[in-house]
Copies of this chain bind each other. A is one copy, B any other.
Amino acid sequence: MTTEEIGAQFKALGDVTRLRILALLSLREYCNCELVAIFGISQPAISRHMARLKEARLIQEKRHGQWIFYSLTRDPFRPGQGLGETLARIREADPVVTQAASESPNCTVPAPS
């Protein structure tokens, strides 16, 4: 997973409505129409939020007739998948970070205690 993809995932999490949707999906599956009623915003607005969550691989869908039920994907919600681990992955894989980390301080610094 590239740093850009990680950033996109965090961006998808950076909205109150989407966070609430995910919190609900951690309890049971929900269909689009229920979420419209709960949040009091338009159906296309919910649809776009779900599309963004799906793009970020945070949710998956399952058709059931004309309804679509959404549920969490397991991957990003595993224990031990915290911020620290994410930064470690960036540290190892990101070209800008690895390059910068390999160089010594280039600022006339008085020894950072």
Q: Output the nearest chain B residue to A98 by Cβ-Cβ distance.
A: B23
> B76 and A20: CB pair below 8 A?
no
Residues of chain B with a CB closer than 8 A to A16's CB: 3-4, 7
> B24 and A97: CB pair below 8 A?
yes
A38→B97 CA distance, assembly (Å): 9
> B82 and A80: CB pair below 8 A?
yes
State whether the Cβ of A44 lies closer than 8 Å to any Cβ in chain B: no
Report the interface size for chain A: residues with CB under 8 A from the other chain: 56
> B7 and A94: CB pair below 8 A?
no
Query: Which residues of A come within 8 Å of B, CB atoms?
Result: 3-4, 6-8, 10-16, 19-20, 22-24, 26-29, 31, 33-34, 37-39, 64-65, 67, 69, 76-84, 87-88, 90-91, 94, 96-97, 100-101, 105-107, 109-110, 112-113
In addition to A7-B13, A77-B84, 5 A-B residue pairs with Cβ atoms within 8 Å of each other are: A64-B112, A77-B83, A78-B84, A81-B83, A82-B82
